[in-house]
Amino acid sequence: MAIQRPRGTQDILPSTVGYWQALEKKMRQLAATYGFQEIRTPIFEDTRLFLRGIGETTDVVQKEMYTFPTGDDKDKTFTLRPENTASAVRAYLENKIYGQETLTKWFYIGSMFRHDKPQAGRYREFHQFGAEVLGSQSAVTDAEMITMIVQFFQSLGLADLNVEVNSVGCPHCRPAYREKLITFFEPKKEELCEDCQNRLYKNPLRILDCKNETCKKLSIGAPEIHENLCEDCHDHFETVKKYLTIAKVPFVINPRLVRGLDYYTKTAFEVQYTPLGAQSAIAGGGRYDGLVEQLGGPHTPAIGFAMGMERVLLALEKQDLLPKPEEEKKAYIVALGEAARQKAFAMVTALRSMNCQVAMDVENKSMKSQLKHANKIHAKYVIIVGDDELQRGEAVLRFMDTSEQETIALADVIDKISSLVKG
Ligand code: AMP
C-alpha cells in the first residue's frame, strides 16, 4: 500500500493554501499594528523545557508529547513543541533579551504537535498564531491582548464568538484556594473520573473544567475562585474588566475557566465558537507571571495567547467567510513555431526579471490548447506570436476578459505587458 501521511496531519494543497496565506497576512498586519515582532524558534526542544514550563501534571505533558532520542546524549530527549510559549521564554532567556529591553512583544506563526485523539478541529500537527508580552505587569496589557484577538476576529467578519475571562489567582492566594477545593472534592473522590482523581492533589483547579458529566455535577457548589482572590489579583481582574469595557469588547466571566497549562496566573481567557462543537476554543491564553523565573530567569511578568489556525479557518468556512486569495494579474505568451518560441522565451525571461507573472507553452502545443492553458491559469492578457507576426515585427495582444484584440509592435510587448500586469 502507498505510504500515507501520519494520522492527525494534513496536506495543505495549492487549492487551499491561499486561505492560509491570506490569514497569515492578516495576522502579520495585526501583530504590526499592535507593535509585535516575529520570533521563530526550533520545532523541537530539550524535553525538560516543556516539563518545567508547561507543568508535569498537565495533559499535554503527560499524554501528548512527541519525544525522541537526541541521537547524541543518552540522558536527554527532544520533544516536538506542543506549544510555543515555553520556547519563546527560553529564547528570551538564552538571548538575554531581558537585559536589552524592558518590554518585549513577540508573535509567532507555526506548527505545534500534540499526540491527541484526532477529530474535526483537533489534529496532531496544527498551526498556531500566538503573541507574548514579556515585562508588563499591567492589567491594561491583559485587556489589550484580549482586544487584539477580538479585533482580529472582527476584521475577518466572524460573528457569534464568546469571549470568556477569569482570574486563576497567584502564588499568594491560590494555595489556600487549592486547599479549599481539595477539602470540597475529597469526600467525592471515588466518583470523580480517573483523570480528576489524579488531579485532586496535584492540580485540583483542573477538576473545575473537566468535561466529564459526572465531574461537572460533582463540582456544583465548589468554592468560587473570585471569592478567594488576594487583593492584588482582585484589583488586577477589576482593571482588566474595566479596560475591556472601555475597548467595547463583549465578554463573559467564566469562573470555571482554568485552562490546560499550569503556568497561568491571574488572567486567563478563551474565545469560543460554539458551532465547532467539542473543539470550540479557537483562541486562548493568559498571564504567566512566574514562568520566566521558573525557567531560571529574572522575575518577569508576562502574558500571551495562541490561536488555532485550523479552527479559525473552520469557523470562517462555516460562516462562508473564507478569505479570497489575492490574484496577481497574469500574462501568457502564445508562440507558434520554433522561431516564435525563441522570441517568446526571451520575452518571458525579461518580463519575469521585472517580477511580472507570465507563462508560455514549451511543448509545441496548438494555438487552441495554448489559449486553453492561458484561460486555466486566469491570464488576463495574452500575446500571440507566430512566424508571420515575427517577420512583420508585430504581435497580437488579446484581452481575455473581453476577447478584444489589437496588433502591437513586437518591440513594445515588454513595456506594454509589464505596465498592464503591474497597473
Ligand atoms: P492551547 O495552547 O492549548 O492553549 O491552545 C490554544 C489554541 O490552539 C486553542 O484554542 C485551539 O484553537 C488550538 N489548538 C490546541 N490544540 C489543538 C489541536 N490538537 N488541534 C487543533 N487546534 C488546537
Can you spell out the DSSP letters for 26-37?
A: HHHHHHHHTT-E
Tell me the pLDDT tens digit for each residue of 324-357.
Answer: 777 889 999 999 999 999 999 999 999 999 999 9
- Identify the residue whose C-alpha is closest to ligand 1 atom 11: 308
Cα–Cα distance, 230 to 253 (Å, whole number)? 18
pLDDT at 109: 98
| Residue pair 394/409 in contact by the 8 Å Cβ criterion | yes
> pLDDT class for 260, splitting at 50, 70, 90?
low
| Residue pair 332/358 in contact by the 8 Å Cβ criterion | yes
Distances (CA, A) of 329 to 98, 244, 256, 287: 46, 43, 52, 45
SS3 assignment, position 338: helix
Q: Which residues are within 8 A (CB) of 207 and not within 5 positions of it... i.e. 6 or more apart?
A: 181, 185, 192, 196, 199, 200, 215, 219, 222
Mutate to test the pocket of ligand 1, among 126, 280, 309 (most ligand atoms within 8 A of CB): 126
| Residue pair 267/286 in contact by the 8 Å Cβ criterion | yes
For residue 293, the tally of other CB atoms under 10 A from its CB is 12
Tell me the pLDDT tens digit for each residue of 193-248.
Answer: 998 998 899 889 989 988 889 999 999 999 999 999 999 999 999 999 999 999 99
Cα–Cα distance, 372 to 387 (Å, whole number)? 21
> pLDDT class for 71, splitting at 50, 70, 90?
very high
Q: Which of 106, 151, 110, 108 shows the shortest CA–CA distance to 133?
A: 106
Q: Does 127 contact ligand 1 (Cβ within 6 A)? A: no
User: Phi and psi of 118, rounded to 5°?
Assistant: -65, 140
Average pLDDT over residues 13-20: 94
pLDDT at 188: 93
- Identify the residue whose C-alpha is closest to ligand 1 atom 4: 284
Residue extent(s) of CATH 3.40.50.800 domains in the chain: 330-422
Give 46 Cα–ligand 1 centroid separation in angstroms: 21
Q: Which residues are within 8 A (CB) of 299 and not within 5 positions of it... i.e. 6 or more apart?
A: 292, 293
> pLDDT class for 58, splitting at 50, 70, 90?
confident
Q: Which of 142, 117, 145, 144 shows the shortest CA–CA distance to 130?
A: 145
Using the Cα atoms of residue 171, residue 263, residue 168 and residue 249 in order, give the sign of their dihedral: positive
| Residue pair 127/112 in contact by the 8 Å Cβ criterion | yes
Percent of the chain with pLDDT over 90: 88
Give 282 Cα–ligand 1 centroid separation in angstroms: 7
- Is residue 165 over pLDDT 90? yes
Residue extent(s) of CATH 3.30.930.10 domains in the chain: 14-173+229-318
- Is residue 50 over pLDDT 80? yes
For residue 418, the tally of other CB atoms under 10 A from its CB is 17
Q: Does 384 contact ligand 1 (Cβ within 6 A)? A: no
Give 368 Cα–ligand 1 centroid separation in angstroms: 50
Tell me the pLDDT tens digit for each residue of 373-421.
Answer: 999 999 999 999 998 999 999 999 999 999 999 999 999 999 999 999 9
Residue type at 30 in one-letter notation: L
Mutate to test the pocket of ligand 1, among 279, 282, 288, 303 (most ligand atoms within 8 A of CB): 279
| Residue pair 347/320 in contact by the 8 Å Cβ criterion | no
pLDDT at 57: 77
Cα–Cα distance, 388 to 336 (Å, whole number)? 10
> pLDDT class for 259, splitting at 50, 70, 90?
confident
Q: Does 83 contact ligand 1 (Cβ within 6 A)? A: yes
The reply to whether CATH 3.30.930.10 applies to domain 14-173+229-318 is yes
Mutate to test the pocket of ligand 1, among 58, 311, 313 (most ligand atoms within 8 A of CB): 311
* Cα pseudo-dihedral 89, 95, 101, 103, rounded to 10: -10
Query: In 3-state terms, the chain is what percent helix, strand and coil (to 5)?
Result: 45, 20, 35
SS3 assignment, position 186: helix
- Is residue 54 over pLDDT 90? no
Q: Which of 156, 144, 163, 162 shows the shortest CA–CA distance to 23?
A: 156
Cα–Cα distance, 270 to 293 (Å, whole number)? 25
> pLDDT class for 263, splitting at 50, 70, 90?
confident
Give 127 Cα–ligand 1 centroid separation in angstroms: 8
User: Phi and psi of 104, rounded to 5°?
Assistant: -120, 130
Looking at per-residue pLDDT, the higher value among 106 and 159 belongs to 106
Give 202 Cα–ligand 1 centroid separation in angstroms: 23
Looking at per-residue pLDDT, the higher value among 69 and 258 belongs to 69
Query: Architecture of domain 330-422 in CATH?
Result: 3-Layer(aba) Sandwich (3.40)
Nearest atom, ligand 1, residue 83 CA: 2
Tell me the pLDDT tens digit for each residue of 27-39.
Answer: 999 999 999 999 9
Average pLDDT over residues 19-31: 96
- Identify the residue whose C-alpha is closest to ligand 1 atom 13: 308
pLDDT at 62: 86
Cα–Cα distance, 261 to 203 (Å, whole number)? 10
SS3 assignment, position 188: helix
Alpha-helix residue ranges (DSSP H) falling in 171-328: 174-185, 194-202, 213-218, 231-246, 291-294, 309-318
Percent of the chain with pLDDT over 70: 99
Q: Does 383 contact ligand 1 (Cβ within 6 A)? A: no
Q: Which of 13, 82, 15, 23 shows the shortest CA–CA distance to 47?
A: 82
- Is residue 66 over pLDDT 70? yes
